Structure 1
Amino acid sequence: MRKDTIVIREIEAKDNPKITNAIRTVLIEMGVPKVGTAYEDSALDCMLETYSAPKKTYFVVESGNEIIGGAGISPLDNYEGNVCELQKMYFMPEARGKGLGTEMMNKCLNFARAAGFDQCYLETLPYMNDARKLYKRVGFESIDEPMGDTGHYSCTVWMLKDL
């Protein structure tokens, strides 16, 4: 698959079941717990609707008729402050190693800046090494404790970036 046949675009209604499947497939592949992570989020079944509110967006990675990844920005739940969260950034194996992670990060962080957020927060797992390398490369720094209340208590790596 060539990168020039892959498009990053905003989510559409037809993408809901495809991005849900892609995210859960990647989570299973990575051995992520099904509880305390994005796997059990009710938002997975209605991604377009979840990200249609102000200061929220979700982008998908499309190749042909397939959705092979995605990522979104949303205000950080249950937190006092002007902080957003990078959410549900997952890529199927065929999307990896093509620079799409960096491209997706740029799209998401540019949206966050334009929406007026001061910082971007994320949660991940310690063994998601490639993801953590990408986050560090774009300026995220590790922090000592979680922010807000995302419900993802199984995620034990927390990172923050000034926008």
Structure 2
Amino acid sequence: MKFRPIQAKDDAQLAGIIRACLESFSLDLPGTVYYDPELDRLSDFYQASPDRRAYYVLVDDRDQVLGGVGFAECGLFEQCSELQKLYLIPQVQGGGLGCSLMELVIAKAREAGYQSLYLETHSNLSTAIILYQKYGFKEIPQPDQLIHTTMNRFFVKDLSTE
């Protein structure tokens, strides 16, 4: 397995993975990434501003997408990016790949010059919340401007330390 930047050929597979994961947690609701207009064309979104955002897919030996993670500029805080769309297919969950994705996105956001990494999640995603806390994300009150209005848990990580 390896990580590589998202390509247009990954769009349909990745959108399917994200939607299936959200459905499995009853989060196929308006106000989640499930209905994001760019979900079916993620490569276009991330390649449109490569110095400020990126998405990395995890692929197997046959170049099949197993999951991915990204970041993009976020105006909620100064020099802040948002951790976006960290998802894995069920068959590879629990094997440490979520940690690998987290380490990759933290390093890449830091390389892009961001000072903090923000994320929105939902209490239904308890395993993901444990992962975020393991990597030093601190829960914060709900920001005034939400990106995904159904989300009910909010975290930020300071990238300027470590």
TM over 0.5: yes
Structure 2 partner of 1:91: 88
1:79 and 1:149 in contact (8 A); partners too: no
Compute the RMSD of aligned alpha carbons: 1.3
Structure 2 partner of 1:120: 117
| Partner SS for 2:38 | helix
Structure 1 partner of 2:140: 143
1:85 and 1:120 in contact (8 A); partners too: yes
Please state if 1:74 is matched with 2:75.
Answer: no
CA distance in 2, matches of 1:39, 1:11: 18
* Cα distance, 1:29 vs structure 2: 1.0
1:33 and 1:154 in contact (8 A); partners too: no
State percent identity of aligned pairs. Answer: 32
| Partner SS for 2:127 | helix
Structure 1 partner of 2:42: 47
After the TM superposition, which parts of structure 1 deviate over 2 Å for at least 4 consecutive aligned residues? 63-66, 146-149
Structure 1 unaligned spans of 5+: 1-5
Structure 2 partner of 1:3: none
Please state if 1:34 is matched with 2:29.
Answer: yes
1:71 and 1:89 in contact (8 A); partners too: yes
Aligned AA for 1:71?
V
CA distance in 1, matches of 2:144, 2:46: 20
1:51-85 deviations in whole A, cap 9, x for unaligned?
01121000111123421211100001x43521100
Aligned AA for 1:42?
P
Structure 2 unaligned spans of 5+: none
